[in-house]
Structure formats: structure tokens, C-alpha cells
Chains A and B, each alone.
Chain A
Amino acid sequence: MCLGIPGEVISIEENGEQMRRAKVRFGGITRDVYLDLVPEAQVGDYVIVHVGFAISKVNAEEAERVFELLSQLEGDDALPG
């Protein structure tokens, strides 16, 4: 129910509608998504989409943290001691 899928914003409709819609690509599928909850999202950003609405913009820097942590921890494993 709380399923959220990351997708890339490929275009934003500025058609004077009161709600802001975008085309968002998920792998090979493109869907219309409302951006009203994430107004700062721009073309090229990745957003997490839930029931037709973007609920957050993926923070690319934070997304790398787990991999940096793993390299660091694995590095510690290699230390003698």
C-alpha cells in the first residue's frame, strides 16, 4: 500500500492547470505523475511516486551513503588487528 517507485522526470506540463503534471519514466514505462507535493522537482530529477503523486525528490548524495559505508567497513576488515 505504501509502495513508492523511483522514476525520472522527463518533462513537465505547464498548461495553466491548477495541478502540475509530469511525465515520469520507470525503466521502460512512462506515466503521468502529479508534482504538487514536490514543486521543486525539475526535469532530470528522480522522484518517488506513490498512487500517482511524487512524494519526494531522491537525494542523489544520500543515495550513495550506504555504499560509502560498506567500502569503509570492508576497509576496516582488512586492517590487521
Chain B
Amino acid sequence: MRYLDEYRDGAAAQKMLRQIERVATRPWTIMEVCGSQTHAILKYGIDELLPPQITLIHGPGCPVCVTPVETVDQALVIASRDDVIFTSYGDMLRVPGSSKDLLSVKAEGGDVRMVYSPMDALKVARDNPGKRVVFFAIGFETTAPANAMAVVAAEREGLANFLMLTSHVLIPPAIQAIASSPENRVQGFLAPGHVCTVTGYAQYEPLAKKYRLPIVVTGFEPLDILHAIHMLVSQLEAGRHEVENQYSRSVTREGNRQAQALIDEVFEVADQRWRGIGVIPCSGLRLKGRYTKYDAARVFALEETASREASVCIAGLVLQGVRKPPECPAFGKECTPEHALGAPMVSSEGACAAYYLYARRAGTAR
């Protein structure tokens, strides 16, 4: 396929690797924030091909993984109701709450349906006027405009039986939280290309300046990632800390104005809890103004229950890049994609699932 295959070309990747080897003279630690990039890095063996002085650590860029367990528990309560059809992206169906997941609710008779787009959920609402249709609206800035569009369309149609349970998270506050942590080891960031497609990258410039960390907006194919690493290492070697755009075939500095306007119309910035990490100030989006009537948590007046996490799981440390998945005592033993203790082992973007899938074990991963 055009714009995919050429960026998976082995010869081009080898050339880029040679350039990285030429430019890297010292040890550098780089974080790829986005879970899709983590999977590409492990799938194509980029972590094993890079010169040994470059260490990649994996960031919290997996919305499925960071959706708070309290919100998953709320989803389980709502999805169990007889008057509800609960719709969700597939990844969320097997994410463990305190005691079970959405697939268990489905097995117990709950009407839980997988959708590929919020517009599919809207169609379910149109087709089932006698039910309340709740969409589990999770995601980063990439997904927020589509979720906002569904609410705007529901408002336009007067679709009163459509609701959303939201868990939207923002990338720059997460980068700030990592960069300002006393435990931070990251010397440069690969920023997520599709988030920046929507938001642009101007908001990353103050972060690069304040923390003196180079940031490169990065695409998702192996050649994109290697190119971005070359750009980042070149900056690090030269002592520069700027924001550069590797993924310029999709990203501009100002981003997608229509998408930004839609987000601003429907959502407002709020403090947000990240699973395994805790509350990060101003790192989430919640429905605002006249759109709060679509907020399922508000409509069903859900109180926070006493949620709990599996005690042995170190997902929070993995999501912050402090530990790697094979360092978890449960990894590959009582925690596998088929029976996961933590969200990063379930999600198609989770670091634990990537390590398990691409057979990285303790002692083999750098």
C-alpha cells in the first residue's frame, strides 16, 4: 500500500541505521511516548538493531492502558444495566476492572457491542430508540475530534438516547510529568505523529525549552522511527533541544484547525487520573456546557466505588518508563494476553503485550 510499504523497505532502513551509527558517539536514552510506536519498534526489532549506546524506553501513550480502573468499573456497572447497550472500541473489552471486564459482562447477558468508530455507536442509538446507548469514549487528542463529532451529530439530530462515558487524555502534560520527575532518565522524546496531526506541535516547544530536551514528532513505520531517532540523536550530540517534525507528510506546526475547533466546542481541559500513574493536572478532557447532558457518568450518577488493582502488577512503573515489562514478576506467568492482570498486557498498544507478542524476555531486551 502506498505511504506504508516504502517506509518498510529493509534497504532504506539499513541505510538509516548506518547513519545513526555514524552520529551516535555516547549513550543516549530516548522515550517513544506512543504505544503504536512501541509495537512497531518491537515488531521490526528496531530495539535490537540500534547501536548499543542507544536505549529506548516506552512511555504512557496507550489510552487503553491509562484509562483509570475507576472508569472501567463505572463502565462495568453501566454495561450491566438492562436498559443499556454499551458500545466500545475492541481494545477496552478485555481490560480488567477491579473484579472483571466488559467481555465478562457480555457473557453474563449484558448487551456489549464492539464498534470501530463513534459514528457506529450513533447508528446503534438511532436503531434502538428504546435503549440508552453508551459509547466508551477513550483516547488521546487523535481520537477526541471523532468522539466530539459524534456528540455534535447527536445534538443536531436530537438523539436523546446517546451517551458517552469519557476518558480522554492529553500528551503534553504527560511528557511534562515524566520530564519533571526526579526519577527521569529520558534525554529526548519521540512525540506521537497522529496526536500532533490534530494538535500541531507548537505546544511542545515550551516543553523542549524548559526541560532542555529535544522532541521529534514521529511517524509509525520502521523507517519513520529510525529517521526520527537519527534526528533526535543528531540534536543530542550537538547539544540542541528543539522540536523537529519527522512526520511532515501528515503533521504541520499548526495542526488540524477543524479538529481543534471541534474539540474546543465539546470538551474542556480538566485534571485527569491516569491508571498506574495518578492524577496529572490539566491532562484530560471532559464534556462541557450543553454537552454535559451526554455524560454517562453524570446521567447515571455514578459514585466512585473502592476500586483495586492486582497487587503484583507493575503497570504504573512500566507506563512511566521506570521499569520494562520482563522485570515484572507476573510477566508471562500469571499475566498473559489471554489472562491479563494489567491493561498494558491487554491492549494492542500496551508495552507488556508487545514484549510478550514479540518474545522479548528478561535478559534479551535492552
Cβ-neighbour of B256 out of A3, A19, A56 (below 8 A): A56
Q: Are A66 and B227 in contact (CB under 8 A)?
A: yes
**Interface residue total, chain B, C-beta cutoff 8 A:** 56
Given contacts A37-B256, A37-B259, A63-B3, contact A52 B62 (CB under 8 A): no
Contacts of B220 in A (CB 8 A): 4
Give the residue name and chain of the B residue nearest to A31 (CB).
B116
In the assembled complex, the CB of A13 is this many whole angstroms from the nearest CB of chain B, namely 14
Q: Verify if A79 is at the interface (C-beta below 8 Å from B).
A: no
**Which residues in window 8-50 of A have CB below 8 A to B?**
8, 18-19, 26-27, 34, 36-39, 46, 48, 50
In the assembled complex, the CB of B199 is this many whole angstroms from the nearest CB of chain A, namely 11
Given contacts A46-B2, A50-B194, A58-B250, contact A1 B91 (CB under 8 A): yes
- The chain B residues found within 8 Å of chain A, CB to CB, are 1-4, 6-7, 12, 15-16, 18-19, 34-36, 61-64, 89, 91, 116-120, 138-140, 142-143, 145-146, 149, 153, 156, 192, 194-195, 197-198, 220, 223-224, 227, 246, 248-251, 256, 258-259, 262, 347-349
Given contacts A1-B62, A1-B143, contact A56 B250 (CB under 8 A): yes
- Lowest 8 CB-CB distances: which A-B pairs, in order? A52-B117, A6-B3, A63-B249, A62-B248, A2-B142, A2-B194, A62-B249, A56-B250
Given contacts A26-B1, A70-B16, contact A55 B197 (CB under 8 A): yes
How far, in whole Å, are A77 and B4 apart by their CA atoms in the complex? 27
Give the residue name and chain of the A residue nearest to B245 (CB).
A62
How far, in whole Å, are A59 and B267 apart by their CA atoms in the complex? 29
Q: Are A59 and B143 in contact (CB under 8 A)?
A: no
What is the predominant secondary structure among interface residues of chain A facing chain B?
Answer: mixed
Contacts of A69 in B (CB 8 A): 227
**Interface residue total, chain A, C-beta cutoff 8 A:** 37
Q: Are B146 and A48 in contact (CB under 8 A)?
A: no
Contacts of B19 in A (CB 8 A): 70, 73
In the assembled complex, the CB of A11 is this many whole angstroms from the nearest CB of chain B, namely 18
* A–B complex contacts, Cβ < 8 Å, 26 sampled: A1-B35, A1-B91, A1-B139, A1-B349, A2-B36, A2-B192, A3-B194, A8-B2, A36-B149, A36-B258, A37-B256, A37-B258, A46-B2, A46-B3, A52-B117, A52-B119, A53-B145, A53-B149, A55-B142, A56-B251, A58-B250, A59-B250, A60-B249, A65-B249, A69-B227, A73-B15
How far, in whole Å, are A24 and B19 apart by their CA atoms in the complex? 36
Q: Are B256 and A38 in contact (CB under 8 A)?
A: yes
Cβ-neighbour of B156 out of A4, A18, A58 (below 8 A): A18
How far, in whole Å, are A17 and B262 apart by their CA atoms in the complex? 18
